[in-house]
Amino acid sequence: MNDDSLSRRGALTRLGGLAAVALGGGALGAHELLEPDDAIAAGNGPADVASGLVTCVLAPEQTEGPYYVDDAAVRRNVTDGKPGVALTLRLTVVNVANCKPIKGAAVEIWHCDAGGVYSGVQGDTAMFLRGVQRTDAKGVALFRTIYPGWYPGRTVHIHTMVHLGGNVVHTGQLYFPEAVTDAVYERSPYSQRPNRDPRNAGDSIYRNGGRRSTLRLARRGAAYAGSITMGVQRS
């Protein structure tokens, strides 16, 4: 399916169709059920907010954790050759006061590799799976990465920090639907570390608003496209 050719009307129509199929009890997998979010991935951030398709809410503040490194590179592709299931991220930053996109915000992400390891810690100078992108006029920052692994004590997550005019205006974490993670983790190299623990519901940080910062995921062949709109307060 060529998603690039989808008009907004087409995407919404498809959403309705899928909803009908889901209600009819069809044998759709979790990935297909998440497909309606293609409407968001297709890129109408502010319009989606205006239409109510995206609710403009304050992204929950969550700890940056122990693995923040202060000098991540400005780059879209942060993989540095790390193996894993390809994941593109479309992160939209809007002003929570009016739901309008914020242009020129620096969006930073960092996460662990498929084996649960972060770069740039304990004397390591590698910077894999860390990067910064500036939002465009639509408030959108794009990244190319891999689906994160997990490490003991935390559910699957990506850290994010939004900088505006030299100030940090948001520190948060992005989460994944459990069914998608389960499917991804059946594949190598994730399958080498089974029995991830905790899952979302058992994670003490996720419990503090994590559901509202869960990525919308759409399958793209062997890869996934994730998107979310983050409402932030200008400081």
How far is residue 229's CA from residue 49's CA, in Å, rounded to a whole number?
9
Q: Which is nearer to Fe ion, 51 or 63 (CB)?
A: 63
CB atoms within 10 A of CB 33: 16
Tell whether omega for the bond before 101 is within 30 degrees of 0, i.e. cis: no
Judged by CB under 5 A, the chain residues 126 through 155 that form the site for Fe ion are none
Query: Any idea what the Cα angle at residue 216 is, between residues 8 and 183, rounded to 5°?
Result: 125
Residue given tokens 């991540």 in the structure block: 72
Per-residue string for binding with Fe ion, 180-209, x by CB under 5 A? ------------------------------
Q: DSSP state, 183?
A: H
Per-residue string for binding with Fe ion, 40-69, x by CB under 5 A? -------------------------x----
Instruction: State the Rg of the chain over Cα.
Output: 17
**To the nearest whole angstrom, how small is the minimum distance from the Cβ of residue 52 to Fe ion?**
32
116 sits near Fe ion (criterion: CB under 5 A): no
Q: Which is nearer to Fe ion, 6 or 127 (CB)?
A: 127
How far is residue 48's CA from residue 101's CA, in Å, rounded to a whole number?
11
**To the nearest whole angstrom, how small is the minimum distance from the Cβ of residue 207 to Fe ion?**
15
**To the nearest whole angstrom, how small is the minimum distance from the Cβ of residue 204 to Fe ion?**
13
Query: Which residues here bind Fe ion, judged by CB under 5 A?
Result: 65
